[in-house]
Structure 1
Amino acid sequence: MLTALVVLAVVMLFPFVIVTLNAFKSPADYSAGSPLSLPAHLYVQGIVDFWNRVDFGQKLWNSFLISGSVAVAAVVLSVLNAYALGIGKVRGRLWVLVVFLVGNTLPQEALAYPLYYLSKQAGLYDTKLSVILIFTVIQAAFGTYLLSSVLGQFPHEILEAAALDGAGKWRALWRIVVPISRPTLSVLLIFFFIWTWNEFFLPLIFLISNDNQTVPVAIGVLQGEKMMDATMSSASALLGIVPAVAFFLIFQRTLTRGVTVGAVK
């Protein structure tokens, strides 16, 4: 079993290693060798050129702003929805969850034109707010479906004891339900951030201005214009991957704790 996991880890890390090797090669070094060869010396000019060409600092900030806002807003909205569906007495609870599930499984291609039309009518097209609102709803649909099943198993004795002590529904939510469910909410927050960070299709449609583009869109647009050589393409891919990987590693302990607590429960 351990051998199989090690082999799987090597297979998954192999593309990342190749990208990293080629990101630090000069064009001449890349042409003289092969994609698998080690760089003769560290060449960082490709990373510098790509950073300056696309104003990567601005793209990085846009991605952090959008992904962070979506992650927080989607978790809050998921908690509110799931509290009503999982603990509250909502008629047709099952059908409401089915609607959320169907909404989460719809392909983004089917949503593109209706969302484009609505954003135009609302005057939000080509703004970061439009993408934040869209992905908040999309991610919250999944979060609501997941949290509803979790909160459906929430001990009612705790809520009844809180009610006897004079705690209302809002106070019970924020003082009891949210703290107890914090590991699950932390996992959702991390996943929502990474999922939104990696989104390409809808941001490509809704963020046409250079100042509003995210990291994946900037990389895709520049590569589509064939303005980069192989080493700069690798440098752009490396810069696009590193922030998401760093975020995952920083919160790895939180993610592991959340998954473990969920398994124990």
Structure 2
Amino acid sequence: MTTTTAPTDSRPRGTEAPQRTVHAGSRRRRPRRPLRWLILAAAVLIALVMLAPLVLLVLNAFKTGTDYSAHGPLALPTSWSLQSFQDYLDRVDFLRALWNSVVISTLVALLGTLVSLLTAYAIGVGRVRGSTALLAVFLLATMLPQEALIYPLFYGAQATGTFNTVWSVIIVFTVLQAAFGTYLLSSVMSTLPPSLLEAAALDGAGRWRILWSVVYPVMRPTLSVLMVFFFVWTWNEFYIPLILLSDQSVQTVPIALATLQGQNSIDITSLNAGSLLSLLPTLVFFIIFQRTLSRGVTVGSVK
């Protein structure tokens, strides 16, 4: 009589049998949820709507006046022509206007950021008396319409001898942008840990040393974002420069574009060509400082 014995398990005690692994490729891929497709379709639609004005601007900039009159603004150019750009450059001193805009926007961005840092440091860290009232005044200055400020600014520029000079616009927008920057930075500085400032003071650091060695490194990403915004906001300003810069030699790019509009007629193709040329510097500026802008926003959100 033969007896069969059950197979013995040769594994040591306390160990379990390895589980079967199922390759990811063997599983059926889950179908994408319809909500994801709807969100993707909505994002694509919003992107197309946002890009539509830029596409029309490019199409009409390379048209001739005859082509625009015959086919309208939505049609493709029958022949890609640079005549509109030539007409715009013949009528407007674009290089002079571009230089004025670059100088004004750069100086306002630098000076406005510096003034914002100093005043916000005094209010947010120095604990100035009546800081809440001061911040309310700064916020009110950013909310006032430019039409309410133009008469005092006009007569002030005439009295100081800065009328028809770039310094009139630089001073005005430095103050206006710094008012917003002070309101923003003072709120951020008030959240700094007091122990950090007290430790620097115990090490013998004075107020200026604390500002440039402790506060400034922490605030540098926010200052970079603020500087980018100041540059773009100043570049697009129209009303105040139109009043304070009546001389063609000191006019900015938006004012140069306005000279193409007559009382009863307007050259659409030249206006589109000029708008495209004025858009290129800000586009290059954003491409250069895109990393700085995204890093500043990310660091500020994490902090």
| Shift, 1:5, TM fit | 2.8
Residue 222 of structure 1: SS of its match in structure 2? coil
Distance in 2 (CA, whole Å) between partners of 1:3 and 1:182 is 38
Distance in 2 (CA, whole Å) between partners of 1:2 and 1:43 is 37
| Shift, 1:28, TM fit | 2.5
The reply on whether 1:182 has 2:237 as its aligned counterpart is no
Is contact 2:104-2:166 (8 Å) kept? yes
| Shift, 1:222, TM fit | 2.5
Q: Deviations over 1:13-38 (max 9, x none)?
A: 11111011110112222233231222
Is contact 2:141-2:176 (8 Å) kept? yes
Q: Partner residue of 1:26?
A: 64
Aligned counterpart for 1:244 among listed residues 260, 282, 287: 282
Runs of 4+ in 1 over 6 A off after TM superposition: none
- Count residues with an aligned counterpart: 265
Q: Partner residue of 1:71?
A: 109
Deviates most, 93-102 or 225-234: 225-234
Is contact 2:97-2:250 (8 Å) kept? yes
Q: Partner residue of 1:200?
A: 238
The reply on whether 1:4 has 2:34 as its aligned counterpart is no
Distance in 1 (CA, whole Å) between partners of 2:293 and 2:134 is 29
Distance in 2 (CA, whole Å) between partners of 1:166 and 1:191 is 36
Distance in 2 (CA, whole Å) between partners of 1:33 and 1:236 is 21
Q: Partner residue of 2:79?
A: 41
Q: Partner residue of 2:164?
A: 126
Residue 261 of structure 2: SS of its match in structure 1? helix
- Identity among equivalent pairs (%): 55
In structure 2, stretches of 5+ residues that fail to align are 1-38
Is contact 2:107-2:170 (8 Å) kept? yes
Aligned counterpart for 1:106 among listed residues 144, 149, 170: 144
> Which structure ranks higher in relative contact order (CA pairs < 8 Å, sequence separation ≥ 6)?
1
| Shift, 1:228, TM fit | 5.1
Answer with 1 or 2: which has the greater Rg: 2
Higher relative helix content: 1
| Shift, 1:247, TM fit | 1.2
Letter in 2 for 1:127: T
| Shift, 1:177, TM fit | 1.0
Q: Deviations over 1:216-243 (max 9, x none)?
A: 0111122245675221111011112221
- TM-score norm. by structure 2 comes to 0.84
Distance in 1 (CA, whole Å) between partners of 2:220 and 2:40 is 31
Q: Partner residue of 2:273?
A: 235
Is contact 2:120-2:182 (8 Å) kept? yes
Q: Partner residue of 1:94?
A: 132
What's the C-alpha RMSD, in Å, of the aligned pairs? 1.4
Distance in 2 (CA, whole Å) between partners of 1:155 and 1:245 is 38
In structure 1, stretches of 5+ residues that fail to align are none
Is contact 2:61-2:85 (8 Å) kept? yes
The reply on whether 1:213 has 2:235 as its aligned counterpart is no
Distance in 1 (CA, whole Å) between partners of 2:40 and 2:108 is 37
Distance in 2 (CA, whole Å) between partners of 1:156 and 1:130 is 40
Is contact 2:261-2:267 (8 Å) kept? no
Distance in 1 (CA, whole Å) between partners of 2:109 and 2:80 is 37
The reply on whether 1:264 has 2:295 as its aligned counterpart is no
